[in-house]
A and B are shown apart, each in its own frame.
Chain A
C-alpha cells in the first residue's frame, strides 16, 4: 500500500532561515499529531505536504505523487492553514461551496457537500451569514468544513483547535476521530500539548526543523530511558509509603509534598509492581496514582531538552 506521505531527506530553507531539515518520514493512516513549539517547522512541513512549498532539498511525496506538480494528488488533500484569513465578503456556505468546487466536487454537488460539511462542524445556523461577522471559533470551524467538504483522503490541519470554544473543540476532536476511523489520514499540528493528547497517541515531535522523535506516545516515552519516570501517589499515610519505597534499588528519589508521594524510578514496571505489594502489605489506603510523565508535556520537555518548564502555549 502506498504511504499517504513519504518524505525523503526533505529540507526547506527560506533564504538563510531553516524551515525543516533533513526530514525522512513515512506516514500511514489514522491521526498523527505534529507537536512542537512555535517556529519549530510544523507549518512548513504541513505546507510541504499540502503542495504549497517545494523542498529545497530531498523530496516529499503524497500518495506516491508530487503534491506541487500533480493536481490529482492535491484533489486528495484537504489543507487547513493556521492563519485566519478567509474570504470575508462571502457567506460561510458560499466560501465552502466555492472551495469544494475548486477541489474537484462537480458544481451541481458542491452546495450539498458544503452544507453537509458545515453541518458536521455545527455551522448550519450561521452558514448563510458573511464570514466577516464570524468569531474566531466559527472561522476555524468554517475552515475545517472547507477542508473536508471534498472528502479528501489526507487532511492536514494546522493548529485546528486554536481559538475555538470548548463545545466546538469537542465537536472538532470528535469529527477528527471519526475521519480517522473512516480510514482517512489526519495530520494535526499543535504547540499546545493537551490538544494533541486529546486527539491521538501517535505523535511526531518536531523542533528547530528536525523530527526529534516519532511513534506512539508511550513508545517515545520509552526512548527517554535516561530520564527517571515519576509516579505520584496519594494515600492516607504518605510518610510510611515513602519510607518503604526509599529502600528499593530502582528508586532514584522519593519526595513528599501536599499532593502526596512522588517517586522517581528508572524501571517503571518494576516500581508499579512493588507499589502494589507495599500498599497491600502496609494496608495503605490509595486515593490516587498518576504519572505526570505520561503527559505529552513531559515527553516534549525531555526530547527538546527544555527542562525549564512545560513547553506549551
Chain B
C-alpha cells in the first residue's frame, strides 16, 4: 500500500460520498422529506377543491421556493456546521486534503439531494394537478431547471453561513433564505437581482433573460469562495 496525496477533485468526490452516506442515514433527511412532502399535500387539497390550472401551479412553485429555503439549510448547513461545532472536523482537517474540499465535497454530495427532493416534489405536484393539461412539458422542465439551480444557490449560501456561524447555522440560514432572500427577491426593485429566490424564479418562468442565471451563478460562486476562505481559517 502506497499512500498518495489526493487531488482536489478526488478529495471532493471522496468527501461527497462520505457526506451523502452520512446524510442518507441521519435524521436530517427525514426532516427534509417531510417538509418536501408538504406542497404535495397542498396540491392534493387544491385539486380536491377544484383549484387547478396555472394558478394552482403558481402556488405550488411559490411553496417550493419556501421549501427550498428550508431544506437546503437542514441538509447542507447542518452537515457542515455539525462537523465544525462537534469538532469531528478535526478528522478532516488533519487529513492530507485541502480544507476547501470539505466545502466542495459537502456541496457535491448534498446539493443533489436538495435538488432531487425538489424535483421529485415538483413532479408529484405537477402530476397531482393534471400534468401537461396544467402547464406544458417545456414549462415544467424550465421550472425544474430553475429549482435545481436554486437548490445549488441555496446550498452554497447555507454552506457559507455554516462556516460563518456554525453554532446557529441552520436557524440563521433559514431566516436568511426564507425571510430576507425571499422577501427582497419578491420586491420589484433592482436589489432583487442579488437574491437566490429571484434567480430561481427568473429561470423557472423564463423571465428577465440572462439576469436570473447570472445572478445565481455570481451568488453561488461568491458564497462558495467565502466559505472556502472561511473554512481555511477555522481553528
Contact = CB atoms under 8 A, between A and B. Distances in A.
Contacts, number: 87
Contacts of A106: 1-2, 4
B2 to A, nearest CB: 8
Interface residues of B, number: 28
B96 A102 contact: yes
Interface string A43-57: 000010011111000
A179 to B, nearest CB: 16
A52 B93 contact: yes
A146 to B, nearest CB: 7
Given A74-B95, A98-B18, A105 B1 contact: yes
A50 B22 CA distance: 25
B94 A51 contact: yes
B96 A104 contact: yes
A75 B96 contact: yes
Contacts of B90: 47, 52, 79, 81, 83
Interface string B11-30: 10011011001100110000
Contacts of A83: 87, 90
A87 B22 contact: yes
A113 B96 contact: no
Contact of A101 (B14, B86, B88): B14
A72 B22 contact: no
B88 A71 contact: no
Contacts of B21: 89-90, 94
9 contacts: A52-B93, A71-B5, A72-B96, A75-B4, A81-B91, A94-B21, A102-B95, A104-B96, A105-B1
Interface of A: 14, 47, 50-54, 71-72, 74-75, 77, 79, 81, 83, 85-87, 89-90, 94, 98-99, 101-107, 109, 112-113, 130, 146, 150-151
